[in-house]
């Protein structure tokens, strides 16, 4: 999809209300205790104003002469803020407090501040969004609360498109690199993907377990996600002719991802 099509997608998706806010939370104290730390941390993470990403995207959009990309990124950020807002409303509804600091969020914010490279931004978002899909599925499965389940389903639907949005950008960025550039990136991306996977597990294992995921399950799901996203880029650069190869793989991946919410 081009930037105009993404703008249309995000605008249309913003008119979809999938959460019934008249519902009362229905969650036990024990369940709250197993999810609250992660819920608070992700709520904070989703609440960023996006100014650093917007700065990097604006610079990038001008360099490739695609001013519409700026608007698409703005709408993408707005969707992330909706997630933060909805999680915040849920935290309020169960009588817990929203937090202002979390070590993972502070670290991520510092990295974001210094990061003006579109490539690093895109890579980071792809990795974080991949863990997010398992995270929100676990949050959804950790209780019988219909309101929380609806909030998670809504986020999962949005996030599947976010990965497609970012993977398209990544394909375009990688397409412009030399063979050597593609080769070292393949390893660097993989290392970055799996080390982040590990950090997220240790920070949020209580929630992942509450949602029925063992470390083995989680790792397997993340490996599959890697294969469907960044792993495909490596294949494209080494086994297929560059230009057509990347787009062929891209198209196939979109078909797979568009129906995938877990
Ligand atoms: Fe999100
Ligand atoms: Fe997202």
| Rounded-to-integer distance, Cα 116 and Cα 54, Å | 10
- In the 8-state DSSP scheme, what is residue 211? T
Instruction: Report the mean per-residue pLDDT for the chain.
Output: 88
- In the 8-state DSSP scheme, what is residue 144? -
Distance 239 CA to ligand 2 centre (A): 30
Q: Above pLDDT 70, what percent of the chain?
A: 85
Distance 31 CA to ligand 1 centre (A): 22
| Rounded-to-integer distance, Cα 190 and Cα 127, Å | 10
Q: What is the end-to-end Cα distance of the chain in Å, rounded?
A: 22
Q: Which residues of the chain have pLDDT under 70?
A: 108-116, 234-262
pLDDT tens column, 35-63? 999 999 999 999 888 888 899 999 999 99
Following CA atoms 243, 248, 250, 253 in sequence, which dihedral angle do they give, to the nearest 10 degrees?
A: -160
Task: Identify the architecture of domain 26-258 in CATH.
Answer: Orthogonal Bundle (1.10)
Taking the CA of 46 as reference, the closest ligand is 1
Distance 241 CA to ligand 2 centre (A): 31
CA count, 13 A, side-chain hemisphere, 206: 12
Distance 158 CA to ligand 2 centre (A): 7
Distance 126 CA to ligand 1 centre (A): 11
The token duo for 212 is 């029925």
Predicted pLDDT of residue 35: 97
Buried b (16+ CB within 10 A) or exposed e, 180-212: eebeebbeebeebbeebbeebbebbeebbbbbe
Q: Which residue has the tokens 């996600």?
A: 225
Distance 80 CA to ligand 2 centre (A): 6
């Amino acid at each position: 999809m081009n930037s105009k099509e993404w703008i249309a997608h995000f605008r249309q998706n913003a008119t979809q209300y999938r959460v019934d806010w008249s519902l009362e939370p229905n969650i036990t104290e024990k369940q709250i205790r197993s999810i609250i730390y992660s819920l608070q941390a992700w709520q904070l993470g989703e609440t960023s104003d996006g100014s650093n990403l917007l700065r990097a995207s604006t610079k990038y959009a001008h360099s490739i002469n695609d001013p519409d990309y700026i608007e698409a990124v703005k709408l993408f950020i707005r969707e992330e803020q909706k997630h933060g807002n909805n999680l915040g409303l849920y935290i309020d509804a169960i009588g817990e407090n929203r937090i202002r600091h979390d070590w993972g969020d502070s670290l991520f914010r510092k990295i974001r501040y210094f990061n003006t490279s579109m490539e690093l931004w895109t890579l980071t978002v792809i990795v974080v969004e991949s863990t997010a899909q398992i995270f929100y599925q676990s949050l959804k499965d950790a209780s019988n609360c219909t309101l929380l389940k609806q909030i998670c389903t809504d986020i999962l639907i949005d996030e599947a498109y976010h990965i497609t949005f970012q993977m398209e950008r990544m394909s375009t960025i990688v397409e412009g690199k030399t063979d050597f550039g593609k080769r070292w990136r393949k390893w660097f991306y993989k290392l970055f993907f799996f080390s982040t996977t590990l950090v997220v597990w240790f920070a949020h294992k209580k929630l992942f377990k509450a949602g029925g995921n063992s470390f083995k399950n989680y790792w397997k799901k993340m490996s599959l996600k890697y294969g469907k996203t960044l792993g495909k880029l490596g294949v494209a650069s080494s086994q297929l002719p560059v230009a057509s190869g990347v787009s062929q793989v891209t198209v196939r991946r979109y078909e797979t991802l568009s129906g995938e919410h877990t």
